Structure 1
């Protein structure tokens, strides 16, 4: 028998429930939607969570589509799910937890006696530490971004090769291999000995069916690649970036991009232009070096110095 919150399942069973993480301002219990899939045979444990940033919904879409496909009779091991981590932000379609104005994926490993976000992080981290592998499903917020998997432990970490293997197995086609900020689950869990990656499934308002499809395929790849399910891993040639060049607007106006997501960029290429409302050119921005056009703002209007786009650098393939 395995349990997660109020969900409990014997071998060969599944169950859904709630993981209590505190109370709202009127005293109502806050329970994160959770589920367990207990395979009929012994094996590893995979932990999957989504929406630790409340407006990043593609991961929720992945779980919504994936979970009904899982037959415990076919599975070796256990799969643990927390479908919505940032409960308060999800309710109001915001990125940060509005109770404490915190980005949840900067709060790990959390504090069971701390702020709202720290308590939620502590509760989910206790679950995550039970696993052999962790997938923390994200997206590039509401900006536009390629589908990628992030390895955040740092290239000198003792678990780096295992995290990179997990990213390759997920198989989005792009990998960002760059040490992440303190407080990320993909930073904290490897320190506890658990290989963890952060799939960033595109970027959109609401959710994007193509990114969700890639996410479902990626989780299936992990299930097959690590022996939870029989079958082969479906991956393609993958491109890795080891960092970013970020570009801001040198003038206010309207952005016109000259590169598309996933397109090669060479030093000196025009990346974008800024025009006035009548189409008059105000600024032209060129690339500092070579890379891949990785991420861009969604709305065209910018103020001076405002973020516009990112180019992935330090590129190689495998």
Structure 2
């Protein structure tokens, strides 16, 4: 029998339940939705979670579509799933946990006696530590972004190659291979010896069906490659960036992009222009280095210094 919270499944079984992590402001207990898929045959354990940022819904869409397709009779090993991590932020469709104004994916490995976010991080990290591999499903919030996998442990980490392999197996087509900030699950779990990636499934308001399908295919790629399911998967060559240049607005106004997601840019190429409301150009921003146009804001209006876009740099193939 394998259990996660109130979900328990014998070999060949599936169950869903709740992982209790605290109480709401009226004193009512609340728990995160969890699932256990316990394969009929022995094997490794995969942990998967979604919505550690409350407005990043594509990962929830992946979970919603993957679980009904899993037949434990055909599965070797176990899959542990937390369908919504940032419970409070998800309820109000916000990025950060409104209880403590914290970005959940900066709270790992958590503290079971800490703040709301630290307690949720501690509970989910305890579940994640049971796994042999971890998928932490994200998206670029509501920005426009390439579908990519992030390897966040750093290239000198002892588990880097295994994390990079996992990213290639998932197969978004793009990999950001850059050490992440402290507190990310994809930073904390490799320190425990568990290969972990952070698939960023595009960026959208609400569902993005194309990005969700990429995520569904990625999960099944992982399940086949690592022998949870029968069948074979051969990873394809990915485009990797090991740097990430961010660009802001030198003036306020309206942004007009000269490049699109996935475009290759060279140093000096125009990335975007800023005009006033009458169309007069106030500034033209060019690339500082060659790379791939990776991410951009969705709304056209900007204030001076506001984030506009990002370019992946130091690009190669892996």
TM band (smaller chain): over 0.9
Q: Which residue of 1 aligns with 2:266?
A: 266
TM-score scaled by length of structure 2 = 0.99
**Distance in 2 between residues matched to 1:26 and 1:248, nearest whole Å:** 42
Give SS of 2:125's match: helix
Q: Which residue of 2 aligns with 1:252?
A: 252
Q: Which residue of 2 aligns with 1:147?
A: 147
Matched, 1:202 2:206: no
**Distance in 1 between residues matched to 2:42 and 2:93, nearest whole Å:** 39
Superposed counterparts of 1:100-249, under 5 Å: 100-233=100-233, 235-249=235-249
**Distance in 2 between residues matched to 1:113 and 1:10, nearest whole Å:** 32
Give SS of 1:197's match: strand
**Distance in 2 between residues matched to 1:218 and 1:257, nearest whole Å:** 30
Structure 2: where are the runs of 5+ without partners? none
**Distance in 1 between residues matched to 2:311 and 2:241, nearest whole Å:** 9
Structure 1: where are the runs of 5+ without partners? none
Q: Which residue of 2 aligns with 1:33?
A: 33
TM-score scaled by length of structure 1 = 0.99
**Distance in 2 between residues matched to 1:235 and 1:185, nearest whole Å:** 24
Contact 1:167 1:197 in 2 (8 A): yes
Contact 2:96 2:102 in 1 (8 A): yes
Q: Which residue of 1 aligns with 2:94?
A: 94
Considering only aligned residues, what root-mean-square deviation do their CA atoms show, in Å? 0.6
Q: Which residue of 1 aligns with 2:288?
A: 288
**Distance in 1 between residues matched to 2:289 and 2:232, nearest whole Å:** 38
Matched, 1:47 2:47: yes
**Distance in 2 between residues matched to 1:245 and 1:182, nearest whole Å:** 19
Superposed counterparts of 1:66-105, under 5 Å: 66-105=66-105
Contact 1:43 1:76 in 2 (8 A): yes
Note the C-alpha offset of 1:235: 4.2
Q: Which residue of 2 aligns with 1:277?
A: 277
Write out the 4+ residue segments of structure 1 that deviate beyond 3 Å after TM superposition: none
Give SS of 1:314's match: strand
Note the C-alpha offset of 1:243: 1.1
Q: Which residue of 2 aligns with 1:17?
A: 17
